[in-house]
Each structure stands twice: as C-alpha cells, then as structure tokens.
Chain A
C-alpha cells in the first residue's frame, strides 16, 4: 500500500454510478457534518482563548468573542513555565526519536542479516517483550530510577521510552524483504556491515523509517503517564505533565486554560499538517501488515 493509494478517491467510478446521485449527496452532507462535529471542540477552545475572562462564563454562551483579545495568551506566556515545558518536550521527543531509530535500525539489521549464537532466543525474548504493557511497569521502573538516580532527569524520562520492541519487529520484517543483491554488491566493494546499514538499508527503507520516526515523536511528545511519574520538579516536566497542573494554578480563568491548551496542542497539529502523508501511510502500513 503506497501513499498514493491512500488518497481519497471514490470507490465507484465510471458508468457504475451517476455523477450526482442522492446517496452521494447524502454522503457528502454526512461526512461534512461529522467533520464539523469533530472540529467544534477545537474551535470552541480557540474561541474561548480569545475572549476576555468575564465573557467566558457568561450565559447564554456566546459563539464569537464580542471583544477578542490576546490577553490570555500573553499572561500564559508571561508566566514562563509553558516555554520551559516546550523546551523539555522538544528535548525529550527529539532524543527519544533519534535513539529509538538508531537502536532499532541496528537491532533490526542484526536480527535480519547476521547470525550469532543465541540469536533466535533473543529474538523470541523481544517478541515476548511486545506483550508487556509499559503501564504495568511504572512501579518497579520508578524504583529502579530512584536507585539509578535518574528521577527528574532527561535520561530518566527518555530511556524507558526508547525500548520499543514492536519497532524492531516491524523494521526487521521490512529488512527481511530487502533483496540481498544490493548488500552483496556493497560488500564486494569492500563496505563494512555498519556502512551497509547506513548506505543500503536506511535509504531503501526511508518511507517506513519516516513513519516510525513520526509516530515515535508524537508518542514521546504526548506521553503522559511515565513523565508524570518520573518528574516531580516543575522545571523538568514536559508539556502534557505541566499542563495537567495548569487547571489548579489558574483557578477558574478559563481563557487562560484554553490558551494554554491551544499552545500545547498547536505544535503537534502543525507537525501533523506537514507530515500528514507519512502519518497516513504509517497507519495504512499497520493495517496492511497487521
């Protein structure tokens, strides 16, 4: 399944169906209504964030701010924490993505193309690891982090998220399908195996690596439970954990709460907008290969 295949085209074309049937019009109206329903909460948050504070709790509710203002955004940004959390989220998500790709690509190549004693047993262990939900590890993992003195550090947030056996599994399956001829040619030219990984396997699997990278990045940016547990110092919190404290600290200032929600969600919406093709292909691949 290629990205081009997951474009939205009508399933039925040509003489099979008239251009404007009742069913088709009904589908368009239904799809548009559902889309509107799905966008309303986002628009409502944006709308509220632009209202002056007293207008947010007025009844009956107003749809458009009578007197739009960016005051809520200014006071959220002035408090400074949200910028710190942005920085933390960026550092964490970039580190998790880079390390996950590095470690998983090497491991996938090792399991796919090399032999060493114990390889099958280790791969079996990895597959069993897919079954372990990270949520059940929070207590022993936190105890371990205390021993390693990694609580409230970037490495404490990052390292457990780098272990993604399912990514290694997916990449290994993909590498298994890459023809060996390319590799053999590189080997004849005297390339080392590390060189082969970098110059043959990585370029050949760029689409799947792109999908893995984007999902890892979004997952790391949005992860709530683990950063919530391993950070206690507000200056080490990521956006999702920091924002969870916002409601308490802002009291009932809804315009500010919504402004911070908009700011917290915007980077991801932008990334999704930019890489929509890769995201969709990634999900598509999951469906086809699953």
Chain B
C-alpha cells in the first residue's frame, strides 16, 4: 500500500480547538500553526527514516542499482518480472508461510493453557509469570546461543535425553525436515510469554459473578470453561492470532542465527532473501522489489485479519 497523500492539502479545520479561555497575548500565527511545532520533530524523523525509505524503495525497484553506486540504469518492470520468476523468492516465501503456519497454533494454544493454569493456581503468581515471560525479554542472540547448544548432537540436552531414553539422536539443525521444527520450538519457548500475559489480563477481566451464577446452576468446571471462559476469551484470541500471524511472517533473527537458512535453504525466510539480495549480491533494485512483494503480503494479511476480527467483535455485541 503506497502512502500517497499530499501533506500540503489543507483540510480546512478552522474551528477553535475548545471553548477554553485564551491567553490575552495569543497571536494569530501561533494559534494557526503553533500545533505543528509539537508534531514537527516526530514528522521530520518519520519523513527521513520511514516515509523516504518506503518511497525510495519503490523507486529503486525500477532500477538496476548497486549498493555503492549512485544512479543506476532504468529497468522498468524487469526486476518485478524477475521476482515473479525467481524460484528462490517463492521457496523463501513458502518457508515463511510454513513457519507461520507451524508456529501460530502452538503459540496461541500454549499461551491459553498457561494463562488458564496460572489463573487457577493463585499461588506462586510471581514465579509463574517470571518463568513463562522471562525468555521474551532476552535478545535473539542469547536465545539462539542457548538453543543451538541444546540441539547439539552428542552432548546437547535434547539428544542427551533422547539417547539416555534409548532413542536415536537427531542432528536437529542439519536435517532438512527437522530444522524448521527446531526453530519453531525455540520460538514458542522464546515468545509465548507475551501471548500468555494478554490472555491472563483478559481472564482477569471476566466478572466472577458469572462463574458464581453458573456454579449455582450446577455447572461443573468443564462446563464453566467451555460455556463461559472460552467464549468470553474469543475477542482476545482474535487479537492474539492477528498479532501472532503478522509477527511470525516477519521471521528472520532466530532462523538466521540458528541455521543461516539451511540446510539446503530449507529454512530460509523471505527477509533473509531480501537481505542476501541487497547485501550479499549488492542488488538494491531487486531486493527492493522483493521487499515490496512481501510488504503487500503483510498488508493483505493485516487487512484481512482486521476485517475478520472487527466482524467478530460486532457479533459479540
């Protein structure tokens, strides 16, 4: 979605802001334009580091530009045509979608189970919140250093447990079918805490009298869970799924640090391919075209989810 608005267009908002008393020294200039001074610092940075790269990325996608070079030759739609015929684009996009599909369900379900358990237990509150959420505050590199060590063949924790239980060990990160699963497990461990806290906040917003009334009517634990708790959590679940899908689509850090996209490119996500096209092959124009393709995917998912989500919200009311 291209941002295509002319900042110069006046909107004609001419009403005075409130009926509040004015300082007697208030000058017309500050009355009309003074507010702009408040937003100016943000807008300057926004223009430089968000709007400009967004537009120049689109512009670059029509040129054959190298990272160092200025100018570059106009290619028209050649980069774009190449994007659609490049198997690496589609395989890395597929890996990204596979990761999203594999990681979203466990990240939502585990968080829900954690929140339900923590909400029931009542005791150890601080301890449970710390244990479930602590990995979320760690940098990706720390998380991946730990998990690469855990997945080590031979003396890694996972394989150590597998072999002592009599199973054959698995070279997790160097086996095509296992590497993505290993990344998903790491990601669930790392980031589930955020969804857990969202669910916990929602659970504690459910009024207790609903449960009391249900209990008086003879509803057991299971009925209370399925008739009250889960239906009332549906709005939160919608929100978590939206946030999680968009977050998972942006996967890069942990894959790059754990497998560098391997083995045999089986885990390489689209952002890594953008990175490689721009910074290893030095093809700015081509990398920009892939970026825009991915940008469109993200926007479509966001909008579709937003539509679905706001639709469901209306159903509840």
Contacts and interface: CB of A to CB of B under 8 A. Distances in A.
Interface of A: 1, 5-14, 16-17, 23-24, 27-28, 30-32, 34-36, 38-42, 44-45, 48, 56-61, 102-104, 106-107, 109-111, 113-122, 124-126, 128-129, 131-133, 135-144, 146, 159-160, 162-163, 165, 168, 180, 183-184, 187-188, 190, 193, 197, 218, 221-222, 224-225, 229, 239-241, 243-244, 246-247, 254, 257-258, 260-261, 264-265, 268-269, 271-273, 276, 279-280, 283-284, 286-288, 290
Given A111-B39, A138-B275, A143-B67, A10 B138 contact: no
B145 A159 contact: no
Q: Is the interface of A mostly helix, strand, loop or mixed?
A: helix
A260 B262 CA distance: 25
Interface string B79-121: 0000000000000000000000000000000000110111111
B308 interface: no
B13 A133 contact: no
A38 B21 CA distance: 58
A104 B42 contact: yes
Interface of B: 1, 3, 5-13, 15-18, 20-21, 23, 32-39, 41-43, 45-46, 48-54, 56-57, 60, 65, 67-68, 113-114, 116-135, 137-142, 145-150, 154-155, 157, 160, 163-164, 189, 194, 197-206, 208, 211-212, 215, 221, 224, 229, 236, 239, 243, 246, 250, 252-253, 257, 271, 274-275, 278-279, 284, 287-288, 291-292, 294-295, 298-299, 302
B57 A42 contact: no
Contacts of B198: 283-284, 286-287
Contacts of B155: 56-59, 61
A128 B200 CA distance: 30
B121 A265 contact: no
B139 A240 contact: yes
Contacts of A8: 118-119, 121-122, 125, 128-129, 200
A115 B212 contact: no
Contacts of A184: 18, 20-21
A243 B145 contact: yes
A137 to B, nearest CB: 5
Nearest to B257: A244
Contacts of B17: 113-115
A114 B201 contact: no
A14 to B, nearest CB: 7
Contacts of A109: 38
Nearest to B275: A138
B106 to A, nearest CB: 13
Contacts of A27: 116-117, 120-121
A63 to B, nearest CB: 10
Nearest to A44: B157
B149 A139 contact: no
Contacts of A279: 133, 137
Contacts of B145: 45, 243, 246-247, 257-258, 260-261, 264
Nearest to A281: B201
A139 B194 contact: no
Given A129-B50, A240-B140, A283-B198, A9 B274 contact: no
30 contacts: A6-B201, A8-B118, A11-B206, A27-B117, A31-B118, A39-B134, A41-B157, A59-B154, A61-B160, A106-B39, A107-B38, A114-B36, A125-B46, A126-B46, A131-B1, A138-B278, A140-B284, A142-B279, A159-B49, A184-B21, A188-B21, A243-B141, A254-B149, A257-B149, A264-B139, A264-B141, A265-B142, A269-B137, A287-B198, A287-B239
